[in-house]
């Protein structure tokens, strides 16, 4: 009778060791979480901002050469220079995003 009680005492430990040994040897399936790929990036505006800035500077130079001989600026010259200044500010803002 003592042998049966002793066997019953060690039976839960034996079962636990068997379960751990079997589970340890069996490879677990690899779980991969699916993640949505981000959409491809798109470039808005000029692809080469340096070339756009160069063209704006050439336009500014042409406007200043045109105005260069005048002693005073008339309203049309001021409008041209303000338009060029706005374009240059927009180009500078796009260059800040590039850097």
> pTM of the entire structure?
0.42
More confidently predicted of 41 and 14 = 14
Res 98: pLDDT: 61
Res 26: pLDDT: 66
Q: Is the pLDDT of residue 15 over 80?
A: yes
Is residue 53 classed exposed, middle or buried when 0-12, 13-18 and 19+ CB atoms within 10 A define those classes?
A: middle
Confidence of residue 58 (pLDDT cuts 50, 70, 90): confident
Res 82: pLDDT: 87
Mean pLDDT of 67-75: 69
Confidence of residue 44 (pLDDT cuts 50, 70, 90): low
Q: Is the pLDDT of residue 39 over 60?
A: yes
CB distance 55 to 10 below 8 Å = no
Q: Is the pLDDT of residue 96 over 70?
A: yes
């Amino acid at each position: 009778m003592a042998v049966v009680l002793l066997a019953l005492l060690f039976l839960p430990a034996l079962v636990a060791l068997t379960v751990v040994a079997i589970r340890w040897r069996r490879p677990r399936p690899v779980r991969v979480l699916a993640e949505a790929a981000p959409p491809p990036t798109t470039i808005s505006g000029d692809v080469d901002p340096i070339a756009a800035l160069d063209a704006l500077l050439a336009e500014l130079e042409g406007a200043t050469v045109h105005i260069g001989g005048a002693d005073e600026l008339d309203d049309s010259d001021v409008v041209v220079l303000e338009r060029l200044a706005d374009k240059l500010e927009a180009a500078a803002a796009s260059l800040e995003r590039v850097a």
